[in-house]
Amino acid sequence: MDENSTLSPAHTDATASSSATAPPVPSVPPALAPFAGVWRGEGEGAYPTIDDFAYTEEIEFAPSGKPFLAYRSRTWEAGTGRPLHSESGFLRLVAEDEAELLVAQPTGFTEIHRGQIREGIIELSMVALSASPDAKPVHSIRRQLSVRGGDLTYDLWMAHDLTPLTHHLHGHLRRD
């Protein structure tokens, strides 16, 4: 502490002793550990009913101390930084090598997906999709997550209105 510091020695000692008793960092189930962290990168979207687009994204899979990671995704339009989509939920371990992804979207959807974890890849199949009465007519969603080293990639397929299940999004992010 320098002579211009406003912290008293007593405050410094209290801070040091309180950090010594801080709770431990939550552990992450080994099967989910490759996904844990903050990821930032780019993505592109395409769909038969809209123009192709590019975006930047931040995804966080945060440890909770339980057998799940809290999930949060936020996207922005490439170039302008205008906010686009966000969603949140949980990636939970339901068996030694099986995960479940629960997602809530502010557009009025909730999703539940399950899939086997194999070599850093989770091929998720939809278990349930629920929508609020004024949500867009989405009928099905499929997701895949993959971690290789410091890279997270994902793909999302969607069936919307009269369009059958079609590839919609691809993202490539790097661990922050």
Query: What residues are designated binding site?
Result: 49, 136, 168
Which residues are annotated as part of the binding site for heme b? 49, 136, 168
Tokens of 80: 């302008």
DSSP calls for 110-176 = EEEEEEEEETTEEEEEEEEEEE-TTS--EEEEEEEEEEETTEEEEEEEEEETTEEEEEEEEEEEEE-
Q: Are 97 and 31 in contact (CB under 8 A)?
A: yes
Angle value at C-alpha 152, between 151 and 155, nearest 5 degrees:
140
Tell me phi and psi for residue 174, to 5 degrees: -120, 145
> Residues near 152 by Cβ (< 8 Å), separated by ≥ 6?
35, 39, 41, 59, 145, 146, 171, 172, 173, 174, 175
